[in-house]
Structure 1
Amino acid sequence: MSILSGKTILILTAGFGAGHVSAANAIKNSILQSEENVNIVIKNFIDASVPKLNKPMVKFYEKNTKYTPELYNCYYYLKKSFTSKYDLAHRVYTPKLSRFIEDLNPDLIISTFPLAAACVNNFRNSDDGYFIPAVTVITDVVDSMEWIFENTELYFVPSIEIKNRFMQRGISPDKVEVVGVPISDTFRVEKKDYKKGKYRIIIMGGGRGLFDISEDFMRWIDDFISNEGSSIEATIVTGTNDKLYNNLTKKSPLKNIKVLGFVNNMDELLKSHDLMLTKPGGATLFEAIYSKTPLLVKIPKLGQEIENGKFIIDKGIGLLYSDEEDLQAILKNIASGKFDSTISFMNNNIESFRQTIQPENIALYIENILEKYSI
């Protein structure tokens, strides 16, 4: 019988972007594939502590990252360099989250958001707290100090480079496993079918449909396909951006680009496209890697996305562009066939990187932690 049988596992996540929740769900599914008799509770750590703050904090995050990225970066890079004991934010959530933990009394806590990991650390250090094994899942390609706490038995990290950086910070390599950013197995493809002479590009702006390209540029792509880009097929996914969806499908419909609204089959869409034009979120990177879909990404401005952008360059799994004029040149080269070798090179790099991560071992690593610390 698996040591997971009959256990209760709490996975703490947050609503700041979709990546933290998708990682939580991926870990849950990985555990349940190994052992069905497990009680897995996924909980937004703010909802479990001060629920009235959840919507205001998410809105503040969205506005901050959109309108004042410089201010956001100042805060981010402070957290990257200094231990979170100097950050007072998590202390707001710790008391009530601690009571939630006590009531649930889980056998293991997994955190997919740094403030949640901070609260678990505080719980373990408090007079009323007690030992519960803690696992932290890094959901961007970063080594920020905001993720690192003394009361953590295991870290799941995105790449071997992040493991090496954690070791430089004094963390035992035995406490760090390289699994990538956990995402659903449904994105995984071993052999991808290609259309000869066609490049299928999917254009995404996340669930909220906030793109790094303008609506005018989308229309430029539409015209370009008509005039000289017949080798390109494009799909735009507008998410919950209903205004943009209506503009592109009803008010002034695109002629050559397929436009979708909010979708639940992103895995299937990525498998049927050759390139992804998108934002560099941690989950998005690994959806691209799992589905063998190289990336086109605008040079990012936000802290963790800047780090993810460096990862794209260092691993050679995508191209970064500076502005729409730069992107025009890339699309023209793709359409003319000048980028054939580049795209092949990126696909080979994705394949090589996939060999360095072990997402299939997530449940095994969790079993080992439970066995090590079982009473």
Structure 2
Amino acid sequence: MKVAILAANTGQGHISVMNSICSYLENNNIYVECFGDFYEQLMPSNKVLSDFYNLLQITSLETCRVYTQMSLLENKDKFDELYSYWYEPLNHFFRKYSCDVIVSTTPLINKYIIRYLKEVKSSRKFYIVVTDPFIPMYPGFAVQGADCYFCPNIETRALLETEGILPEKIIVSGYPLHKKFDAVRNDMLEFNKQYYLHSGKPTILINCGAQGSMDYLSIVKRIHVDFREKANAIVLCGNNSSLYAICKNKYPDFIILKYVDNVQDLLKISDLCITKAGANTFYECLYTDTPILVNGVKGFLYQEEGVIQFMEEYRVGKIFLDLEELNLKLNEMIEMETLNIMRGNIENLNIVNGSIKIAEVISQSGVRQKT
């Protein structure tokens, strides 16, 4: 069996989900090819759009939010015209890369691929992995015509059904995470020691996102001023070398890191995580029983707005909308009693790794496995 997993390089979430599913498929002896920048490589104009989106994530989340909302205003009457630009690139790609199963982790490509596969009478199976766990979700996931839809929770399942997706085609798999989240390290004590964390203080993990948003500078500064005596702090600067250099220079008593591929280990030694409402980091926290303090200072992207209702309903953390609220809510959350209550609430959610179920279904698609 040959499986192609397609993503878009908008942030890092869709690519992370792609890699997560791949990690379990390869365990099942399935031949997998991953295309993390499928959307961008298909047409140069797509790359321009993604690059602009990624730039806004680093420099201005407020503008990024407006940009995302504008992209939702696509005129449905223009679909035939837009598809005419997609047809040849899609045809070229699928002639070049043969596969039995196509898995999409991004909403940006689904309606075009579904129409293409129908027009060429392809026998390939097409699966959509919904990576938006909150309501509303980005519209491109609820597109009729796929063979199967994997979604992270019952709320997104209900939303797919209201959009006309047949219930028998929907599987509540859980949110897909990498197999390393299920691995057990035998050297966690030594791993912990390398960061010289004070054992008598809670540890705060500040995740600035894969792109490394400069908006976190004010947050790191406030925590350094008001909490450096009360807590340990680890700052993940992502791929933003400027953010890393500034934090490394100004806050030598904090642990400052660039983009890491072992965030699961850092979450396991942290008592809480400060992060934006992105689905990937959010579910990484839930899966490791790590309470979440969500950064809402610059607002939320369209597909993140539902985090407010989620936090109110399940009480797995708190949200701060300004730096004064950050102080107030962080003071509450570093109390061990509060942390334990939130950890219990997370455990009650029974979060599972969706990659396991997704890989299982794909593996049983009835096509030969590699030898």
TM-score (norm 2): 0.83
Residues 131-180 of structure 1: per-residue CA shift (max 9 Å, x gap): 32110011111444321223201111111111122223332222111222
- Superposition deviation, residue 63 in structure 1: 4.5
CA distance in 1 between counterparts of 2:358 and 2:77 reads 27
Asked if residue 59 in structure 1 is aligned to residue 58 in structure 2, the reply is no
Aligned to 1:241: 240
- Amino acid across the alignment from 1:218: V
Q: Indicate how the Cα distance of structure 1 residues 84 and 205 shifts in structure 2: closer, same or farther if over 3 A, else same.
A: farther
Contact kept in structure 2, 1:45 and 1:97, CA below 8 Å: no
Q: Indicate how the Cα distance of structure 1 residues 62 and 47 shifts in structure 2: closer, same or farther if over 3 A, else same.
A: closer
- Amino acid across the alignment from 2:211: R
Aligned to 1:295: 292
CA distance in 2 between counterparts of 1:182 and 1:235 reads 25
- Superposition deviation, residue 13 in structure 1: 0.7
- Amino acid across the alignment from 2:181: F
- Superposition deviation, residue 357 in structure 1: 6.4
Residues 52-87 of structure 1: per-residue CA shift (max 9 Å, x gap): 3354222222355635245335335547xx979859
Asked if residue 223 in structure 1 is aligned to residue 229 in structure 2, the reply is no
- Superposition deviation, residue 343 in structure 1: 2.1
Contact kept in structure 2, 1:45 and 1:116, CA below 8 Å: no
Aligned to 1:264: 261
Q: Indicate how the Cα distance of structure 1 residues 366 and 84 shifts in structure 2: closer, same or farther if over 3 A, else same.
A: farther
SS of equivalent to 1:214? helix
Aligned to 2:359: 363
Contact kept in structure 1, 2:109 and 2:140, CA below 8 Å: no
Contact kept in structure 1, 2:206 and 2:235, CA below 8 Å: yes
CA distance in 2 between counterparts of 1:267 and 1:88 reads 44
Q: Indicate how the Cα distance of structure 1 residues 311 and 98 shifts in structure 2: closer, same or farther if over 3 A, else same.
A: farther
- Superposition deviation, residue 22 in structure 1: 0.9
CA distance in 2 between counterparts of 1:21 and 1:174 reads 27
Q: Indicate how the Cα distance of structure 1 residues 188 and 83 shifts in structure 2: closer, same or farther if over 3 A, else same.
A: farther
Q: Indicate how the Cα distance of structure 1 residues 45 and 359 shifts in structure 2: closer, same or farther if over 3 A, else same.
A: closer
Residues 259-307 of structure 1: per-residue CA shift (max 9 Å, x gap): 1223232221111111110111111111112222111112332101213
Contact kept in structure 1, 2:9 and 2:40, CA below 8 Å: no
- Superposition deviation, residue 208 in structure 1: 2.0
CA distance in 1 between counterparts of 2:280 and 2:114 reads 25
Aligned to 1:95: 88
Task: Give the counterpart of 1:187 among 176, 181, 190.
Answer: 181
Q: Indicate how the Cα distance of structure 1 residues 308 and 330 shifts in structure 2: closer, same or farther if over 3 A, else same.
A: closer
Task: Give the counterpart of 1:74 among 42, 45, 69.
Answer: 69
Task: Give the counterpart of 2:338 among 333, 338, 342.
Answer: 342
CA distance in 1 between counterparts of 2:318 and 2:107 reads 29
Asked if residue 202 in structure 1 is aligned to residue 205 in structure 2, the reply is yes
TM-score (norm 1): 0.82
Note the 1:1-375 alignment, pairs <5 A. Answer: 7-35=1-29, 38-43=30-35, 44-50=37-43, 52-63=44-55, 66=60, 68-69=63-64, 71-75=66-70, 77-78=72-73, 86=79, 92-126=85-119, 128-142=120-134, 143-188=137-182, 198-210=201-213, 212-215=215-218, 217-226=219-228, 229-230=229-230, 232-250=231-249, 253-299=250-296, 300-335=299-334, 337=335, 340-355=336-351, 358-370=354-366
Contact kept in structure 2, 1:157 and 1:163, CA below 8 Å: yes
Contact kept in structure 1, 2:54 and 2:211, CA below 8 Å: no
Q: Indicate how the Cα distance of structure 1 residues 351 and 85 shifts in structure 2: closer, same or farther if over 3 A, else same.
A: farther
Runs of 4+ in 1 over 6 A off after TM superposition: 82-85, 189-196
- Identity of matched residues, %: 26
- Superposition deviation, residue 196 in structure 1: 7.2
CA distance in 2 between counterparts of 1:64 and 1:20 reads 17
CA distance in 1 between counterparts of 2:346 and 2:202 reads 17
Higher relative contact order (CA 8 A, sep 6+): 2
CA distance in 1 between counterparts of 2:145 and 2:329 reads 47
Of stretches 167-176 and 362-371 in structure 1, the one that deviates more from structure 2 is 362-371
Residues 327-346 of structure 1: per-residue CA shift (max 9 Å, x gap): 011223345x3xx4432222
Aligned to 1:3: none
Contact kept in structure 1, 2:151 and 2:173, CA below 8 Å: yes
